[in-house]
Chains A and B, each alone.
Chain A
């Protein structure tokens, strides 16, 4: 195992951010979670603009679709259309399981789509499955 992986969490709900932090704390893999609260911040983070000038390049993006300002779909489109970032895997984590959201996400080349489970155990299971998939099965570029 290499150094701790960099994860970018784009999520406007602090409770969810905290929950993700707690979930990842229990994870096997060393990780470094960076959370931003809206889509504009996410784009700035990736482009190392403003206060994110020293931001690390994320190895994985956890993206909520419903965001204030620039929404999750626009962020996804930005990531997948920019050759610098499009190799970064994006996991959509959202409470919306509406069909249209799912289809639009896949059309924009989201790598994975996971509905937010309601209970914490389920959430931890999701985090773990992401870890397994991305860091033990897939060799990242």
Chain B
């Protein structure tokens, strides 16, 4: 009635994965950096370097910014002053021309010429001929031209717009009257037709454009501004017009001169047409049939053209360049203030590298200093902190590995935190050493007393046997010889005494067994549990037949253990299950399972069960839960079982089984299985 099964060896023997040595290597590796890392010194150096760089960048940015502002303000003031000077010069030149035109009318030569003209060719005052008076006027015009280098032509136009006197500055600089055959008719030109409409003492300012001869532009192109004033006789009759041609190119060059060559000059009339443009092709584009406009190139100046503003200052900042842009409005026509010139100066600027360097040099120096300090700090830290820390770490490793700690005398003398740490390490090492010594002494003491105790138990149980045998033997002899010869009471007393001796004999035997189980060295070997259980069942055959019991054995492994002790364990447990059976026939099932802790064996019976209150006590020596008359036993079996399992490093416990009975379970660790 016994079912056996066996597991394959493969299932039974599970190879372990880690050895002790392997585990130690692993724990050390955990504290050893495997990849590159930045230590304390490195971190502080990096911090310093970052501080240095950030400081340098911030200070540079701040300085650059304030320097930029400063340079902008300075350049702007400079340019603005230049522009003011240039434009006031321009205004003055126009005003001068205006006054000069009026001045000419008041001169005796001009008055004589007018008298001769209105008096039929002869001056009534001194009888001078028209030819003479006009020669005097030509002289006057020549004198003015030589006094005013900006003027290049002065003429008198009669009431029909024909030239009657014209003096000009030739290309070679000589000044002289133009021969009458070269006189031109200018009646259709605004400087005549507009001036003719004016009252005496008023002047007309022409637009600045290119000089023409007839309809054709004079070559080379000659930008010209013309100032005209009407001439009236004594009765107020219109006689003609005096016109001064001003060399606009000369005026504008003076502007350029004031502002210096770095400034680019733009001058436009009130319609936005360029009179001066750095690109010569765009200059006087309107006269050449093009339409270049200042507001399309410099939109910021549109308000100046629209008479909304007289000046502009700002930064022309398109990505490729930074430039200052300043502009002024010049009113050149005192009668018509709407007529204007817009004079703009644009000056690109950058902060020169040398300037930047000279102001940035201290910053670079400071940054370099900070970097140097960072490096030095890192080195000092390395020496002062990191190296000692490494030493302390090595000492900690030694301590963890169980090596006695060598005092770090050099470090413990330091009066700082590292010193504190080293002293604490030393204190810890000596405390650990002291405790280790204490533990070792305690372990030795325990071992000794345990050994003594085992020896005592053995000696006691062994030596007790001898006198007990005497007592038992003679009691029995007494009973054989004198039974029925004494009275009934004597027989009863003798029977009690014999019974007591018998029980004591069993008790001492079990005690001896317990003592052996605790002291005999374990013989580790491969044990086939299926085989062990066959032995157990065959040893209990008689009991099984008596009780009609059945033992079910599941698949069983091979384990590493002391075979005799394991057999004792199973024998005790199965015997126990048979002993404490209920009314039903005992049914005992044994199974095995591989767990993390090792092989776990379970023995379940359908017996009387164990009160959970006593589930710990039953493993104590001499502990019995039942009266002698109910169940025999000395109360040592389970104690021996527990002792044997614990000597294998395992543990045993009992729980109530389902439907009554008990489940004993024990685990045998199998860390030795890979041996």
Complex contact A118–B472 (CB within 8 A): yes
Which A residues touch B480, using CB under 8 A? 120-121
> Does residue A95 face the partner (Cβ distance < 8 Å to B)?
yes
Contacts A118-B505, A120-B480 given; does A19 touch B465 at CB 8 Å: no
In whole angstroms, how far apart are the Cα atoms of A22 and B501 in the complex? 20
Contacts A19-B477, A22-B477 given; does A119 touch B465 at CB 8 Å: no
In whole angstroms, how far apart are the Cα atoms of A19 and B477 in the complex? 8
**Count the A residues whose beta carbon is within 8 Å of the partner chain — how many?**
13
Chain A 86-141 interface residues, beta-carbon cutoff 8 Å to B: 95, 116-121, 123
**Count the B residues whose beta carbon is within 8 Å of the partner chain — how many?**
15
B478 closest partner in A (C-beta): A120
In whole angstroms, how far apart are the Cα atoms of A116 and B462 in the complex? 13
Interface residues of B (CB under 8 A from A): 465-466, 468-470, 472-477, 480, 501-502, 505
Which A residues touch B477, using CB under 8 A? 19, 22, 120
Complex contact A19–B474 (CB within 8 A): yes
In whole angstroms, how far apart are the Cα atoms of A26 and B295 in the complex? 155
Complex contact B473–A123 (CB within 8 A): yes
Complex contact A120–B505 (CB within 8 A): no
Complex contact A120–B466 (CB within 8 A): no
B481 closest partner in A (C-beta): A22
In whole angstroms, how far apart are the Cα atoms of A118 and B470 in the complex? 7
Interface residues of A (CB under 8 A from B): 13, 15-16, 19, 22, 95, 116-121, 123
B463 closest partner in A (C-beta): A95
Which A residues touch B469, using CB under 8 A? 95, 116-118
* B497 to A: closest C-beta gap in Å: 12
Which B residues touch A95, using CB under 8 A? 465-466, 469
Contact check: which of B470, B476, B505 meets A15 at CB < 8 Å? B470
In whole angstroms, how far apart are the Cα atoms of A95 and B501 in the complex? 16
Complex contact B466–A119 (CB within 8 A): no
Which B residues touch A19, using CB under 8 A? 473-474, 477
Complex contact B465–A120 (CB within 8 A): no
A-B contact count (CB 8 A): 36
Which B residues touch A119, using CB under 8 A? 472-473, 476, 502
Contacts A15-B474, A19-B477, A118-B468 known; list 17 others, CB within 8 Å.
A13-B466, A13-B470, A16-B470, A19-B473, A19-B474, A117-B469, A118-B465, A118-B505, A119-B473, A119-B476, A120-B472, A120-B473, A120-B474, A120-B477, A121-B476, A121-B480, A123-B473
B504 closest partner in A (C-beta): A118
Which A residues touch B474, using CB under 8 A? 15, 19, 120
Which B residues touch A120, using CB under 8 A? 472-477, 480
A98 closest partner in B (C-beta): B462
A16 closest partner in B (C-beta): B470
B505 closest partner in A (C-beta): A118
Which A residues touch B472, using CB under 8 A? 118-120
In whole angstroms, how far apart are the Cα atoms of A60 and B501 in the complex? 32
Which A residues touch B502, using CB under 8 A? 119
A96 closest partner in B (C-beta): B462
Top 10 closest A-B pairs, CB basis? Answer: A120-B476, A118-B469, A120-B473, A118-B472, A120-B477, A15-B470, A119-B476, A119-B472, A118-B505, A19-B473
* A141 to B: closest C-beta gap in Å: 33
In whole angstroms, how far apart are the Cα atoms of A66 and B419 in the complex? 70
In whole angstroms, how far apart are the Cα atoms of A12 and B313 in the complex? 139
Which A residues touch B465, using CB under 8 A? 95, 118
In whole angstroms, how far apart are the Cα atoms of A98 and B475 in the complex? 26
* B302 to A: closest C-beta gap in Å: 126
In whole angstroms, how far apart are the Cα atoms of A116 and B501 in the complex? 16
In whole angstroms, how far apart are the Cα atoms of A15 and B477 in the complex? 12
In whole angstroms, how far apart are the Cα atoms of A16 and B472 in the complex? 12
* 9 contacting pairs across A/B (C-beta < 8 A): A15-B474, A22-B477, A117-B469, A118-B472, A118-B473, A119-B476, A120-B472, A120-B475, A121-B476
In whole angstroms, how far apart are the Cα atoms of A64 and B475 in the complex? 22
Could you say which of B474, B475, B477 has the most chain A C-beta atoms within 10 Å of its C-beta? B477
